[in-house]
A and B are shown apart, each in its own frame.
Chain A
């Protein structure tokens, strides 16, 4: 044992008093600043940060956009812990339903006594009834087919699942203090075992139009469907991995600084899920620095191959490297697999392909046979593009645009 020297570094741990325990595991990026506000270190919530002794300002921007900060004194050879306190849900006000608002609300988990019924249940359509149907198949090669036996847990609600009778309501652990929100509720969806593919959840919530949401999970994984009642009922998926969900929420809010910090501090995981790999690669494409763009392929394994997303990520990378013929082939291959799980993928596809078509008649145009195939895939894709809502990170189609069959495989 020895006495600590004034030149020894200290250790700083930043905790956040999240109401939801899983958010404590997200490892959000925190900035440690001199009191001048110059950043001297970036770390993650819950993890030790080695730093020279001194007085610092710790700042954290939440995925919902709120900025938390606190002063802390770090002594040589000692560990200092600082706790940041998010604002109470009641303090959050917003005149319109922005992504920032939705993200903030998600951080204060609550539920209510509304009913959600799966399609087929004998219930009258009402503003409090949501019909859900899980579908599989290629949206560009309909009909999709109904997928049965998805495990569904719904907090404190009666759920009738076709063919499975009534599921008992589950108790909801109170998470707020007088902050229960009667206008939002959530369910957890477990994707059934089977092939890796993009599944679609058909959500019909009168009087809103039908929506189809890509399910952000692969077989055996779960994700959370959040139903928010404001003007009609708005469905929104959240991935189960809080780190990935935080990354997506930062992206929704345009917080490039936090997206990059989150990437820098948390890409490595022992066994990253396919969804995490996809989101990381999309994020690197959007906000990464130049050398990062080529860093992704090692992350992507064969498991992702059936997904359009993996092709689209590769296609965008190829296009940026100037390998346009390869990029065009990859874009075609992606369309042949259907629609991607994430909006970024469709965004790249529907931005790049028209640009290639715009070059018709110039020296940079694709060769005629390739051009013909690009035109063919573009024409197949176009009707669904008009229905695509690229605002949510997870791809959503508005309207009753996908044909499906009641028959299970």
Chain B
């Protein structure tokens, strides 16, 4: 289901981002679902209804639309398939506007084939794929994504699963010389478990292909990045209530600047996020949540992870800086100066009591000191401040 369509009206091939975003929280055939059957093959897998994937996918969808002017090429299409839970609809009432498609196996398959057709128009286009929902460990680097109708007793279990390897292999460029092409820059995010429930006896290598037509491929000139929420054998987790998943939240933070790197292509500072910088920063962002949730989830780059630029910000990303007072000096008697090291910008941002201050990301000098009674000691530090937040304890 297209929720954003800015394809050229004249039909001419032009480079654009084509996104397919899928979030599945509600599984009718799994325990707790409207069509669940006790004793079915799916019921024995320990899979339940979820409370964050659809919300996560919706926020990724919104991020794409909000940043459409900052993507490497213009945003041309977004296809959104969602099966939200009641909790997610409550947390984000706008989740159903505009209406998303159904992430059943047939729905996903149709969306994938339409998505590929859009991308087959121009080699300089860019593919963006995001899935959040239940998953199973495939073989090797594969991950299986479960459609909303997974567990339908009328078919084999894995007939309602989609292999990410099958998806990205179906998106590989056709052999040179033919009339067809495909967008060469391709980014895949899979936010799903990769463990094998004890009750699963089926051969996960037998997941059927989703493609209506097989293309003879040669992918040597493809720029491919696959980022998986967890390593094979481990689970991926939902986050705190009303939050995105652990991986999804970390990804969104990275896309919002936590993974930004600076460059000076024309003498002015430009901050960009790429798949490489996301890969470098994701573990740190995920650890913040896994520590709070006391779970174990390890990010894994997929079988290939090339650096592909995703966004260049029009303005320097900002973060929230807090200065918790941990020493005996009352907050009212403290002052903190925050200045960037080039000396171009210097500001004394604090109005005590100390609280959060949005500042542009960058490298800063921080000086904390007591101003009443006459200054006796101070704490100096230099810090690289990155979104979404930084905490600098004042212990004086």
Per the bound structure, the CA–CA distance linking A254 and B206 in Å amounts to 29
Q: Which of A6-14, A45-53, A122-130, A287-295 lies at the binding interface?
A: A287-295
Contacts A355-B169, A389-B233: A254 and B283 contacting too (C-beta < 8 A)? yes
Structural contact, A71 and B214, CB atoms closer than 8 A: no
- B166 CB within 8 Å of chain A: yes
Q: Which size bracket describes the interface of A in this complex?
A: 35 or more
| A257 close to B280 (CB less than 8 A) | yes
B275 interface neighbour in A57, A256, A355, A358, Cβ under 8 Å: A256
Interface hub of A65, A348, A390 (most chain B Cβ within 10 A): A390
Alpha-carbon distance between A36 and B384 when the two chains are bound, in angstroms: 11
Complex contact A354–B301 (CB within 8 A) = no
Interface residue ranges of B272-309 to A (CB < 8 Å): 275-277, 279-280, 282-284, 287, 290-291, 294-296, 298-301, 303-307
Are A390 and B294 neighbours in the complex by a CB distance under 8 Å? no
- Given A39-B262, A363-B214, A285-B287 contact (CB < 8 Å): no
- Asked if residues B276 and A39 are in contact (CB atoms below 8 Å), the reply is no
CB pair B341 A357 closer than 8 Å: no
**Smallest CB–CB gap between A262 and chain B, Å?**
13
Q: Return chain B residues, CB-CB under 8 Å to A293.
A: 220
Closest to A398 in B: B233
Chain A residues 198 to 239 lying within 8 A of chain B, measured CB to CB, are none
Given contacts A348-B140, A354-B165, contact A36 B264 (CB under 8 A): yes
Report whether B205 and A357 are in contact in the complex, using a CB–CB cutoff of 8 Å: yes
Q: Which residue of chain B has its CB nearest to the CB of A61?
A: B280
Q: Assuming A389-B233, A391-B232, is B264 touching A321 (CB within 8 A)?
A: no
- A34 to B296, alpha carbons, bound, how many Å? 37
Q: Which of B140, B301, B341 contacts A349 (CB 8 A)?
A: B140
Q: Is B33 an interface residue (CB 8 A)?
A: no
Contact of A358 with B209 in the complex, beta carbons under 8 Å = yes
Q: How far is the CB of A387 from chain B (nearest CB, A)?
A: 11
Are B382's CB and A69's CB within 8 A? yes
B91 to chain A, nearest CB (A): 27
Give the CA-CA distance A69 to B209 in the complex, in Å: 48
State the CA gap A69–B386 with chains docked (Å): 14
CB pair B299–A391 under 8 Å, yes or no, is no
Q: Which residues of A sit under 8 angstroms from B391, Cβ to Cβ?
A: none
Is A342 an interface residue, CB under 8 A from the partner?
no
> Which residues, 356 to 409 on A, are CB-close (under 8 Å) to B?
357-359, 362-364, 378, 382, 385-386, 389-391
Is the beta-carbon distance between A359 and B214 smaller than 8 angstroms?
yes
Q: Are B263 and A38 in contact (CB under 8 A)?
A: yes
Interface residue? A33 (CB, 8 A): yes
User: A255 contacts which chain B residues (CB < 8 A)?
Assistant: 279-280
The answer to whether A288 touches B140 (Cβ under 8 A) is no
B233 touches A391 (CB 8 A): yes
Instruction: Collect the chain A residues with CB atoms within 8 Å of residue B218's CB.
Output: 320-322
A170 to B233 CA separation, bound complex (whole angstroms): 39
The closest CB in chain B to the CB of A253 belongs to: B283
Q: Which residues of B contact A319 (CB under 8 A)?
A: 219
Please tell me if B377 contacts chain A, counting CB pairs below 8 Å: no
Cα distance A260–B301 in the bound complex, in angstroms: 14
B214 touches A364 (CB 8 A): yes
In the complex, the answer to whether A39 meets B301 with C-beta atoms within 8 Å is no
Interface size bracket, B side: 35 or more
- A389 and B163 CA atoms in complex are apart in Å by 20
Which B residues are in CB contact (< 8 Å) with A347?
140-141, 303
Query: Which B residues between 253 and 279 are near A, CB-CB below 8 angstroms?
Result: 261-264, 269, 275-277, 279
Q: How far is the CA of A258 from the CA of B305 in the complex (A)?
A: 13
Pick the contact of B261 from A39, A71, A322, A359 — CB < 8 Å? A39
Closest to B304 in A: A286
Q: Of B139, B141, B362, which is in contact with the most chain A CB atoms at under 10 Å from its CB?
A: B139
Highest count of chain B CB atoms <10 Å: which of A59, A254, A350: A254
Q: Is the CB of B141 within 8 A of A351?
A: yes
Known A-B contacts A36-B269, A39-B261, A320-B220; A65 and B169 likewise in contact (beta carbons under 8 Å): no
Residues of B within 8 A of A65 (CB): 283-284
Are A57 and B341 neighbours in the complex by a CB distance under 8 Å? yes
> Is A391 a contact partner of B165 (Cβ separation < 8 A)?
no
**Contact indicator per residue, chain A 8-38, by CB within 8 Å of chain B (1) or not (0):** 0000000000000000000000000111111
B140 touches A351 (CB 8 A): yes
- Digitize A44-85: 1 where CB-to-B-CB distance is under 8 Å, 0 elsewhere: 000000000000010101000101010100000000000000
Partner pick for B301 among A59, A256, A258, A290, CB 8 A cutoff:
A256
A100 close to B (CB within 8 Å): yes
B90, CB-defined interface residue at 8 Å: no
Question: Given A293-B220, A322-B175: A100 and B141 within 8 A (CB)?
Answer: no
Provide the residues of chain A in CB contact with B220, threshold 8 Å.
290, 293-294, 320-322
A301 in the interface (beta carbon within 8 A): no
B380 at the interface (CB under 8 A from A): no
Q: Which of A36, A59, A100 contacts B283 (CB 8 A)?
A: A100
In whole angstroms, what is the CA distance A35 to B140 when docked?
Answer: 43
Chain A residue at minimal CB-CB distance from B292: A95
CB nearest neighbor in A for B264? A38
Other-chain residue from B223, B290, B305, B362 in contact with A290 (beta carbon distance below 8 A) = B223
Q: How far is the CA of A348 from the CA of B139 in the complex (A)?
A: 10
Rank and list the top 8 A-B pairs by shortest CB-CB distance, nearest first: A322-B218, A350-B140, A354-B205, A351-B140, A256-B276, A350-B139, A364-B214, A37-B262
A-B contact pairs, 12 of them (CB 8 A): A39-B263, A254-B280, A256-B276, A256-B301, A256-B305, A257-B261, A287-B276, A287-B304, A347-B303, A350-B141, A354-B206, A391-B233
In the complex, besides A287-B304, A364-B214, 14 extra interface pairs with C-beta distance below 8 angstroms are: A35-B363, A37-B363, A98-B296, A100-B283, A254-B283, A287-B301, A320-B218, A347-B140, A354-B142, A358-B166, A358-B206, A358-B209, A363-B214, A390-B141
